[in-house]
Amino acid sequence: MTAPLDLPDSAIEAGPETVLEGAESNVIRGRSLGQIAWMRLRRDRVAMAGGIVILLLILGAIFAPLLVSWFGHPPAEWHREKIDPAIQAPIGTFGGMSWDFLLGVEPTTGRDLFSRILYGSRVSLLIAFFATLLCVLLGTVLGMIAGFFGGWVDTIISRLMDIFLAFPLLVFALALAGVIPDKAFGMSGDTLRISLLVFIIGFFNWPYIGRIIRGQTLSLREREFVDAARSLGARNHVILFKEILPNLLAPILVYSTLLIPSNILFEAALSFLGVGVRPPTPTWGGMLAEAVHNYDVAPNFMLFPGLAIFVTVLAFNLLGDGLRDAFDPKAR
């Protein structure tokens, strides 16, 4: 919808036919919605750029230890020799940026900012992905049940969604993340914090996607193919999984892609407020929280974690917008 396209207006207005013309084969054959959407998406350069950035980010997060061993220093290694003891600020221009320390060093400790941001992406992406998975699972299952069965089931689930949406979400998430002791539920350290954040973010955000899925199921339920399946004797669970779920995959894909960036921002916010994954594990939000106190002596410490969040979130938003347009050109 919002991504500026490098297409002539005529191509945008014309919709699917133009896209089909562009295909190499002249043979007319049926294409699934997925194939058509993929063809549209491939022509959306902005969305594809977002997708490539996401791919690079994921690769960077996976191979962080390797990349750091080539281009940096371990994220927890202190380099006091890079710090001016008088003002506790990095020595050198722009926070000590050099070939040795690509993005400079952290004030006070002198830890390598490049490797801390790279490792920070692991926490950010991991939490955002799994939290989104939880949102989508809960939202899809409950939304489908509410929309399909209707009646009192729908009433209960819909009220439940109302309650969740009326919660002061951030305060609540803060409280929950704050009260858990350092050892709980048989876990400790990073494992505990990451699972906790996944649970909090996923558990409080599912109603948004739940409402969308409920609405879609409600309209799909009345369609002829569902009647046909039922008259052939299909049971409810067969209709739900074989008839309705495949038709929900497009909105699920689109909204998952758009949920990931909002979950990344949510995680960063919780880390910023001090209830995220605990130090010394690096998080982007946590770095920004510290940068509040010393951005004047180390601008790199404020700028790079912020840019990391911005680039990641923007890339997902671009891809998500592109996907939505590809599946539903009317929305543009």
Partner 1 sequence: MGGRVHKARPPWPRSVFTYILRRLIAAVMLLFVVSIATFAIFFLVPRLAGMSADDLASRYVGKAANAEIIHDTAIRLGFNDPIIVQYGRFVKGIFVGVERNYGPGVEHCPAPCLGYSYVTQNPVLPDLLNRLPITLSLALGAAVVWLVFGVATGVVSALRRGSFFDRLSMGVALAGVSLPIFFTGIVSLAIFRDQLGLVGDVADWVPFTEDPLTWANNLILPWVTLAFLYAAGYARLTRAGMLETMSEDYIRTARAKGLPERVVVLKHGLRATLTPVLTMFGLDLGLLLGGAVLTESTFSLPGIGKYAVDAIGNNDLPQVMGVTLLAATFIIVANLIVDMLYAVVDPRVRLS
Residues in contact with partner 1 by the rule CB under 8 A: 1-4, 9, 12, 162-163, 166-168, 170-172, 174-176, 178-181, 183-185, 261, 265, 268-269, 272-275, 285, 288-289, 291-292, 295-296, 299, 302-303, 305-306, 309-310, 313-314, 317-318, 321, 331
DSSP string, 113-143: HHHHHHHHHHHHHHHHHHHHHHHHHHHHHHH
- Between 4 and 151, name the residue whose CB sits nearer to partner 1: 4
Cα torsion for 45, 49, 55, 56, to the nearest 10°? Answer: 150
Q: How far is the CB of 269 from partner 1 (least distance, A)?
A: 6
Q: Are 276 and 267 in contact (CB under 8 A)?
A: yes
- Between 87 and 170, name the residue whose CB sits nearer to partner 1: 170
Strand blocks (E) in the chain: 83-84, 89-90, 183-184, 187-188
Both tokens assigned to 267: 């995680």
> Three-state SS for 27?
coil
- Between 73 and 305, name the residue whose CB sits nearer to partner 1: 305
User: Shortest CA distance to 323 belongs to which of 12, 5, 42?
Assistant: 42
Q: Are 131 and 202 in contact (CB under 8 A)?
A: yes
Q: How far is the CB of 225 from partner 1 (least distance, A)?
A: 27
Q: How far is the CB of 71 from partner 1 (least distance, A)?
A: 24
Region for 235 from its dihedrals, namely left if φ exceeds 0, alpha if ψ lies in -120 to 50, beta otherwise? beta
What whole-number distance in Å separates Cα of residue 324 and Cα of residue 320? 6
- Between 92 and 306, name the residue whose CB sits nearer to partner 1: 306
- Between 209 and 275, name the residue whose CB sits nearer to partner 1: 275
Q: How far is the CB of 185 from partner 1 (least distance, A)?
A: 7
Q: How far is the CB of 212 from partner 1 (least distance, A)?
A: 15
> Distance between alpha carbon 9 and the CA centroid of its chain, in Å?
31
Q: How far is the CB of 174 from partner 1 (least distance, A)?
A: 5
Return all residues near 301 (Cβ < 8 A) that are at least 6 apart. Answer: 95, 104, 106, 107, 113, 287, 290, 291, 294, 295
Q: How far is the CB of 168 from partner 1 (least distance, A)?
A: 3
Q: How far is the CB of 171 from partner 1 (least distance, A)?
A: 5
- Between 9 and 24, name the residue whose CB sits nearer to partner 1: 9
- Between 60 and 306, name the residue whose CB sits nearer to partner 1: 306
- Say whether the peptide bond before residue 282 is cis (omega within 30 degrees of 0): no
- Between 58 and 314, name the residue whose CB sits nearer to partner 1: 314
- Between 52 and 62, name the residue whose CB sits nearer to partner 1: 52
Could you write out the three-class secondary structure of 169-221?
A: HHHHHHHHHHHCCCEECCEEHHHHHHHHHHHHHHHHHHHHHHHHHHHHHHHHC
Q: How far is the CB of 223 from partner 1 (least distance, A)?
A: 22
What whole-number distance in Å separates Cα of residue 76 and Cα of residue 189? 16
